[in-house]
């Protein structure tokens, strides 16, 4: 009986270090980290005609947890924000580095950092943790959104350290299903309010009986204002 390639690689120990390639060219620890990302709750990001938004699903169901402490929208700078899927403690370290970089840019150059510079810093850190021994890859995908100049932008970085710019994207659990729906229903001329309605509609279809309007965090930045704003639970009900 033929043994699957993955099982052969595991039996021969190719998954014991992040820096060890298997004979078929895979970094197995990195692939395991990608699986950890898909266990994380999902987030959707969209570039809209008047800005950019991210809506993040928060699975915390413990009524004793203070909701604000479980918020999944992170402010990097007033014109840049983020969401993550996977191991959120890994995300915290990366986002704190990005916050420091953004503040250093303001102090040094007296100007706001570009959105791409933020995602590049995060992606570079992830890549380094796939190249050196004694460390493990970051088990998190990070979505960065913001406004550079007068252009709303959305970037996504995977666990390997790659990053790309998107018009609309999803990370976390059921990201493939969400992307399939976005490919059909996303329109570049949508306003932020229409983007929020579409994102909630997508989550309702994907989550089905697990859908709960109170479990979403939403942040957006309008191109003209360049300042992160959040939609609270009472306002969010108007978008259903």
Query: What's the pLDDT tens digit per position in 84-134?
Result: 999 999 999 999 999 999 999 999 999 999 999 999 999 999 999 988 878
Report the pLDDT averaged over residues 31-49.
94
Out of 4-8, 147-151, 165-169, the most confident range is 165-169
The tokens for 197 are 């309605």
pLDDT band at 25 (very low <50, low <70, confident <90, very high): confident
pLDDT given for residue 5 in this prediction: 65
pLDDT band at 155 (very low <50, low <70, confident <90, very high): very high
Measured in whole angstroms, the distance separating CA 236 from the mean position of its chain's CA atoms is 21
* Residues 218, 233: Cα–Cα separation, whole Å: 9
Report the pLDDT averaged over residues 203-215.
92
* Residues 97, 64: Cα–Cα separation, whole Å: 30
Q: How does the average pLDDT of the chain come out, rounded? A: 91
pLDDT given for residue 238 in this prediction: 84
pLDDT band at 180 (very low <50, low <70, confident <90, very high): very high
Q: Given the structure tokens 């460390």, which residue do they identify?
A: 135
**Helix (H), strand (E) counts: the chain:** 7, 10
- Please report, for the chain, the start and end positions of each structural domain, with discontinuous segments joined by +: 5-239
* Residues 172, 52: Cα–Cα separation, whole Å: 19
* b/e 89-124 (16+ beta carbons within 10 angstroms → b): ebbeebbebbbebbeebeeeeeebbbbbebbbbbbe
Report the pLDDT averaged over residues 159-168.
96
* Residues 136, 119: Cα–Cα separation, whole Å: 20
pLDDT score of 1 more than 60: no
pLDDT given for residue 129 in this prediction: 92
pLDDT band at 217 (very low <50, low <70, confident <90, very high): very high
pLDDT given for residue 8 in this prediction: 58
For helices 192-207 and 175-185, angle between their N-to-C axes, nearest 10 degrees: 140
Report the pLDDT averaged over residues 44-61.
93
Contacts of 11 (CB under 8 A, 6+ apart): 3
pLDDT given for residue 11 in this prediction: 47
Class of domain 5-239: alpha beta
């Amino acid at each position: 009986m033929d043994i699957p390639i993955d099982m052969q690689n595991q039996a021969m120990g190719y998954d014991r270090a992040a820096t060890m390639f298997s004979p078929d060219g895979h970094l197995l620890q990195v692939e395991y980290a990608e699986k950890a990302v898909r266990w994380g709750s999902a987030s959707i990001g969209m570039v809209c005609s008047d800005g950019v938004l991210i809506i993040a699903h928060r699975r915390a169901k413990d009524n004793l947890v203070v909701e604000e402490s479980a918020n999944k929208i992170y402010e990097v700078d007033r014109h840049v924000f983020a969401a993550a899927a996977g191991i959120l403690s890994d995300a915290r370290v990366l986002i704190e580095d990005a916050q420091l970089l953004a503040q250093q840019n303001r102090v040094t150059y007296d100007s706001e950092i570009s959105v791409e510079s933020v995602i590049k810093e995060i992606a570079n850190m992830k890549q380094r943790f796939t190249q050196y021994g004694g460390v493990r890859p970051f088990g998190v995908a990070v979505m960065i959104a913001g406004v550079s100049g007068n252009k709303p932008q959305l970037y996504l970085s995977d666990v390997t350290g790659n990053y790309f710019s998107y018009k609309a994207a999803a990370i976390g659990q059921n990201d493939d299903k969400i992307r399939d729906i976005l490919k059909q229903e996303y329109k570049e001329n949508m306003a932020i309010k229409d983007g929020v309605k579409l994102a909630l509609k997508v989550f309702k279809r994907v989550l089905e009986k697990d859908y709960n309007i109170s479990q979403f965090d939403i942040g957006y930045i309008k191109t003209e204002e360049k300042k992160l704003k959040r939609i609270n639970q009472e306002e969010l009900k108007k978008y259903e």
